[in-house]
Chains A and B, each alone.
Chain A
């Protein structure tokens, strides 16, 4: 640690970027690339070992110390496998899809800040690929381009499983991207910027995870949806869709999908760390007793600790949660996360506006709590009054038309349910209950 780096002016701002010499830019890009590939290898090993531990088995432990080289061995195996291209597929799109999936995943890591300004061969530079005034938008844009990889893989494979996986995935990622974008808005409001270095600088006092806890919760949920992992891994649900969108892929093309999935995992964790957990800043007990914790190369350590805690959290969830049903997933995204995020943004914006007008913070808090409690109480009262009717209606309907589960000779769900079509397919007996059925559907509480 040089004494210069320990000065408080070491925190990078947006103006510090774009001044690096060419060798430093190339070096940063190379380091980020190598870091991502290593992270993928290690997180695959960590995931298999931790899941193994949680399921009371050992996990891979043969290759290298503790099985650390398992990922490498798997990579070599994948590369040496036969590259199967099914007949009649659209070859251009079939090859394009894995590339479109992997490349954006690499790009979005370029704006993640690893640390403050440090001295590299006598050159002061920030430990960050680059920064833009709209850096977080870049991550969102890249993740939305990554969707193309999945959609096109599903379409071009000429397989119903792949197509279904691609459809599910695109619908899911688009829905959760909206809620994710909304969860960033409160962060932008408080940081006053969309650049990642400014957002980290804005958290020198309090982490946004504390200040904007509801946003943090929404982000963590949407992050699961974006990464297509359990509990939201419907696009590749093994039990129903074989492998989902990558069923027909093999060898290196499959490896690219795999790479993209694990890089996305790292990117989402790094973004959560940057936006909500103070980025590379040391956690409170360390930074209060040790002034030098936030300068030099030490912040890389704090960043890594936070990143790996998040990745462990992902793995932990995978080990403990079951897969949700598709309609539950969509309902959660559109009917709960989005309205909740919008309400929360409204509240945050109102508080910020009042604070800018010079009102007393305590007064604002009291008024906010009273109004929020009144709205919550009113909603609960309304739901209780309405919920009684709903149960009655449901009970009446259940008595009116018992579905025959063995209609086709084997148990099937009722495919002509009004839920799917908005109306019944209409035999004489069922037509009598159209009124009650559609009423129940429009209310949407079942």
Chain B
């Protein structure tokens, strides 16, 4: 095993371990912090694979924006310090079974698909230039479809959060 592989495996262990902590901890804010650690380990794995751009975007978007928004939401609604008893769910064994089954399926697919085939790391393969040309030349249609999906989610959120537009009270309709 080379040094790179050892670091990669360690980061993977950190990501999976902190992922388990996210769903098992009884403290709401701690769960968000474990999620940060998991995302950070993932960014580290991208760095090991020489994809610098992806790694820093991972930190910027997932660590810096999404989890901060999660924390923001938690604090705006309720943010108990200490353990919260209602964080447990009766479905936990079913959920665990589904999670294990999904993981087993993914691992099986990857092992059957690639086995122990190895690809050489090419420096600059994950750089901004390579990624930009891949996204905007080869994969431009999926990219645009995804952005339409995000837009519809955005519109949906606005419709849900605004009480003055909607079917029940047509009188309050604005424009």
Contact = CB atoms under 8 A, between A and B. Distances in A.
Interface in A119-160: 132-134, 137-138, 140-141, 143-145, 147-148, 151-152, 154-156, 158
A166 B30 CA distance: 17
Interface string A424-445: 0000000000110011011100
Contact of B72 (A89, A170, A423): A170
A422 interface: yes
B68 A423 contact: no
B64 A151 contact: no
A133 B124 CA distance: 9
Interface SS of B by simple majority: helix
Contacts of B65: 144, 174, 177
B38 to A, nearest CB: 15
Contacts of A329: none
Category for how many chain B residues contact A = 20 to 34
A146 B115 CA distance: 41
A337 interface: no
A167 interface: yes
Nearest to B172: A438
Nearest to A171: B72
Interface string B137-175: 000000000000000000000000111100000011011
A145 B64 contact: yes
B57 interface: yes
A83 interface: no
A174 B171 CA distance: 36
A234 interface: no
Nearest to A156: B81
B164 A422 contact: yes
A421 B56 CA distance: 38
Interface of B: 27, 29-30, 33, 36, 52-53, 56-57, 59-60, 63-65, 68-69, 71-72, 75-76, 79, 81-82, 127-128, 161-164, 171-172, 174-175
Given A90-B81, A132-B52, A151-B68, 5 more contacts: A90-B29, A141-B59, A155-B81, A156-B81, A443-B175
